[in-house]
Each structure stands twice: as structure tokens, then as C-alpha cells.
Structure 1
């Protein structure tokens, strides 16, 4: 695997290191030793799967607070999506900065989303499916979200959303007292 740190330190793009021949290729999508060597979380307790039927479906920006804060590894297994991470770590020099990249079934790229980051994506094709490896169990009491278009963060999405859940559409404006405390 090839780990490339994004402009928001702590978040990584992960590309497969393919070994191929005339049959196709082989690559590891996860290796505990390689993740540990890169200083990344190497234990996951859940694998989540989402399917978005329509291009322009926006999901996010979601995260969980400590002690249930999550690290995620996100991979698009069908279609294409624009994946976004948002640094919400208190005291971070890049607090409020975001980074996005296209993940697709074709490029097989993954996004490593560390604890303390918000995460979301918008689909760039119909019938887009994503897999998320998560290192903590879902905890509704610790769940938080940042509005996808909160002016505090000015996330640059490549297209306008067409489909948005009621929950995501009605997220609060950023307020540190609520967003960063349990």
C-alpha cells in the first residue's frame, strides 16, 4: 500500500500497490503491519456499507466524540464519489480545514479519516457504493455532525447536492460547545 498524507495532517490517501500480470493484478487493501508501520490505526471493529442510488447524494459531515471517536478507512467499490475530511481537532493548526479527493471503483483509492475529523461525501455517479472500516462501535450519544455547507468551513464540493437526508440538511451551524463536547 502507498500512504500519502493529505494537506490536512493525519488524514491519508491510500493507494493499492498492485502486482500484475496478464491475468490482472493482486494487491493488499489492508495489512495490519503496514498500517502500524505508517503510524495508523490497525484494528477495526465494524465494516459499514452504503449505497447511494442517485448522483449528487450527499452524506455528511459526520463524526463521533471521545470516547467513541472513530477512525475510518473509506473505499468506493462501485461508482464514484468525492470524499471529504474536515479537521475538527481542538488546538490543531489545521482546525477547520478540509480536503477532498475522488474515490472510485476504478481508482480503488481509499481515504483514511482519523479520530477528530468530520467525514462526508457526495456521489459523482448513480448507484455508488462505499465500504467503511471503523475502529469504534457506533454510539448515538456521541454522534455529531457539521452542516455540509456551514460557512465556518466553506467546504468546496465539486457538484451541488441533489439528495440530502433530513438529518444532514438540518445539521446545526458550528458551535464548539456542542460540536466538541459530549
Structure 2
């Protein structure tokens, strides 16, 4: 497995080795003996999620109050997503910056986000399927959002899908009214480093 640390400390890209033959493909998309030395601690699995999205569906930027925080290990089983990690940790040298990874059913990369980091995904084709392992069960009172379209974040969202068609962003009602990073910080909702 190839591992690359993203520009935000505590976020990593994992690219598995794939073994293919006339029957299909086999790969190890998560392996603790590789993960734990990289992340510095094991991923304590508390919940696993799966989401299927139409092209243009934009989910996030989501994060969990830290503490307790929620770590995520995310991959794409079908289709393609732009996976975006945003540093929301007040006091971090990379606060307010973002990095991205194309996760798809070709390279089969996975992204790890440590607690305190924000997460968003944009589906690049219809039927794209993402799955993620979480270190904390969903707890509504700890769940927070920042607008993925906050102009101050300057996230370079693709405007064209994997098939070459223009993307029209589709947000949930909750994501469409999420505060900007500045408002979330002023409200004291962001995690500290």
C-alpha cells in the first residue's frame, strides 16, 4: 500500500495494491498493521456508513465536536468523488486550508481524517458510492457543519463530472444553510488544536 500525507497534518491518502485476473480484482482497502503506524493510533471502529449519490451531490463540510471527535477512513466503491479535507482546528498552522483526493473505482484510494478535521465529498457521476469507517457513532448534538461553498475557503470544486457533463451542485437543506468558517469560529463551534 502506498501512503501519502496530505498538506493538512492528520490526513492521509492510502492507495492499495490491486491484484486482478480474469475473475476481477482483489485489494486490501484497510489494514491495521499499515494504518496504525501511519496514524499513530488504531482506528477504533464504532460505525460504518455507505452513501450513494447522483452526479453533483455535494455533502459537507461536516465535522464532530472535538473532544470527543470523530476520525474517518473513506473510500469509493463505485463511481468517483472529490474528497476534500479542511483543517477546522483553531490554532493549527494549516487552519482554514484544504486538500483533496480523487477517490474512485479505478485507483481505489482511501482517505483518513483525524478528529477535528472537516470533510466534504462531491459526486462526479451518477450512482457514485462512498463508504467510510468512523471512530464514533453519529451523535446529532456533536455534529456540525461549515458551508462547502464558503468563498473564503476557496475550495476548487470541479464544474465537470467524470463523464464530461457539467455539474450542478446539489446540497441538503442542512448543508445549504451551514455557516461560513468565520461564523462557526465566532460562534465557538470549531475544534481547538
Same-fold status (TM-score > 0.5): yes
Q: CA deviation at 1:178?
A: 3.5
Superposition TM-score, scaled by structure 2 size = 0.86
Where in structure 2 are there 5+ consecutive unaligned residues?
160-166
Structure 1 residues 142-161: aligned runs within 5 Å = 142-159=142-159, 161=168
Q: 2:68, 2:88 → 1: CA distance?
A: 15
Q: 2:153, 2:81 → 1: CA distance?
A: 20
Q: Is the 8 A contact 1:68 1:137 kept in 2?
A: no
SS at match of 2:61: strand
Which of 135, 154, 169 is the aligned partner of 1:162? Answer: 169
Equivalent pairs counted in the alignment come to 181
Q: CA deviation at 1:27?
A: 2.7
Residues 1:180 and 2:159 are matched in the alignment: no
Q: CA deviation at 1:154?
A: 1.6
125-134 or 15-24, which deviates more: 15-24
Per the alignment, do residues 22 and 165 of structure 1 end up closer, same or farther by CA in structure 2, a change over 3 Å counting?
closer
Q: 1:24, 1:127 → 2: CA distance?
A: 20
Q: 1:152, 1:45 → 2: CA distance?
A: 34
Q: Is the 8 A contact 2:43 2:71 kept in 1?
A: no
Q: 2:27, 2:137 → 1: CA distance?
A: 28
Q: Which residue of 2 aligns with 1:50?
A: 51
Superposition TM-score, scaled by structure 1 size = 0.91
Q: 1:112, 1:48 → 2: CA distance?
A: 14
Q: 2:107, 2:116 → 1: CA distance?
A: 27
Q: Which residue of 2 aligns with 1:3?
A: 3
Q: Which residue of 2 aligns with 1:74?
A: 74
74-83 or 158-167, which deviates more: 158-167
Alignment RMSD = 1.9
SS at match of 1:141: helix
> Could you list the per-position Cα deviations for residues 154-179 of structure 1 after superposition, in whole angstroms to 9, with x for gaps in the alignment?
21111254311111111112231342
SS at match of 1:8: coil
Q: CA deviation at 1:66?
A: 2.1
Q: CA deviation at 1:20?
A: 5.2
> Could you list the per-position Cα deviations for residues 56-97 of structure 1 after superposition, in whole angstroms to 9, with x for gaps in the alignment?
110010010123311101111111111100001121110000
